[in-house]
Structure 1
């Protein structure tokens, strides 16, 4: 035990019980996280990207129409340079095509994007799908 020059302050060299409890809890959390990461690394199988597209909304813009969509990757592998193709057709005849490229769509995630058309998609068939990707 030490005393300050004024004699009022005292310090103990033994750790307080809350310090021990905090250290034990932190060590347990680190051990659990390392175990979980190790388990995932050895048991999870890598599957190639599995991309699907869901159309969300269509809105008029200043120069045409914007069709907003979500692209999902349900696989355990990330897809890079993902090309999404949009086709606007009527009566089996293609009126307009457009595409957008995502830098990547992470594994087990979704991204949102939009395809821009000059023609109004109302009353026409809008087909938006993933056209390809590369391995990162």
Structure 2
């Protein structure tokens, strides 16, 4: 009879121990983390003021473009009809639009654009690079 009591107490103690262990595990285990979709993550990041790398690059490029245009003074240039590439370079150099006439002319010829320069009135930034000016004078926009 005594051995029966010991067996019963041992089983009862073991059962209570298992129940207490399970309760402690439930209380102190970390809760299940919520699984978020990619859209939810992006939405939450935007609400916290974060931006995607693509939007950051676009904003950075826009700021750089604004800074460049603010730093450079704009001048109005008149290119008469029939003006040669060399004379266009002279006009641009006289108005501080380009730094080097020879480099400008060489670039125009290397790109085979000597016959595509369009006469007219232009508002150009001073000290711009030759590529920007050639794009403007050929009617191409950046």
> What TM-score bracket applies, with the shorter chain setting the length?
under 0.3
TM-score, structure 1 normalization: 0.27
Greater strand fraction, Structure 1 or Structure 2: 1
Rg (Cα) greater in structure? 2
TM-score, structure 2 normalization: 0.26
